[in-house]
Amino acid sequence: MTVKYESHGLPLDEYQLSRADHRRQSEADEIAAWVERQVAKAPPWSEEQYQRVQAMLDGHTAPPPWEYMRWRVRLYCGHIQEIERHCRDARPDRDTQDTRCSECGKDPAVIVAFEVIGAVAEPPKAPKAPKAPKAPKTNSQNTASRPGRTSRRTKADLEAENSALRAEIERLRRSDTK
């Protein structure tokens, strides 16, 4: 799956807020206020409920760093930040939570301009399969060179070929995301 990363505006250049930016910020503020009102009305959790939710969250593992892209964004408040989003997301402002500005504290602060910077980390290199020593050919192996005859490959040969193909796929994926 190849993702074509989008950009909108230039975060480092001057930026004039549009009516759409003001509307999106207003909607984000209204949603945040509604959520706060709902949370305030909710009954407190029992210790048992808290423990169950904590156990569910403890079982969650975050994706590895090489599955994240870094983005430079300009927030509604005018501040510029670098954020991380999963590499499958073509834009940092879709299907995600609004961002909190680390400089002025505006929360939520919608993203008004953005550009991709690059991957957070490089994926680890695939381990090279040890090369099996070549055994001298026997008569049964020589028959493979005759037309219509095939030899059986060993498990080590298949594992080495599998590892080489996986490394090639990973190399192609990395070159695709650049």
- Which pLDDT does position 177 carry in this prediction? 66
Environment class of 137 (CB within 10 Å of its CB; exposed 0-12, middle 13-18, buried 19+): exposed
Stated pTM of the model: 0.64
Pair 110, 24: CB distance under 8 Å: yes
C-alpha 150: how far from its chain's center?
A: 44
Same domain, residue pair 97 and 159: no
Classify residue 51: in a domain, yes or no.
yes
Q: What is the mean pLDDT of residues 145-171?
A: 74
Same domain, residue pair 36 and 114: yes
Boundary of a domain, candidates 88, 119, 150: 119
Same domain, residue pair 143 and 115: no
Contacting residues for 144 by C-beta, under 8 A, at least 6 apart:
150, 151
Boundary of a domain, candidates 119, 149, 165: 119
Same domain, residue pair 68 and 37: yes
Q: Tell me: pLDDT of 135 over 70.
A: no
Classify residue 10: in a domain, yes or no.
no
- Which pLDDT does position 143 carry in this prediction? 47
Same domain, residue pair 143 and 109: no
**Cβ count within 10 A of residue 11:** 21
Same domain, residue pair 110 and 38: yes
Provide the domain count of the chain.
2
Question: How do residues 69-99 score in pLDDT, each as one tens digit?
Answer: 999 999 999 999 999 999 999 999 886 666 8
Domain span at residue 145?
139-177
**Which has the higher per-residue pLDDT, 124 or 27?**
27
DSSP code, position 10: -
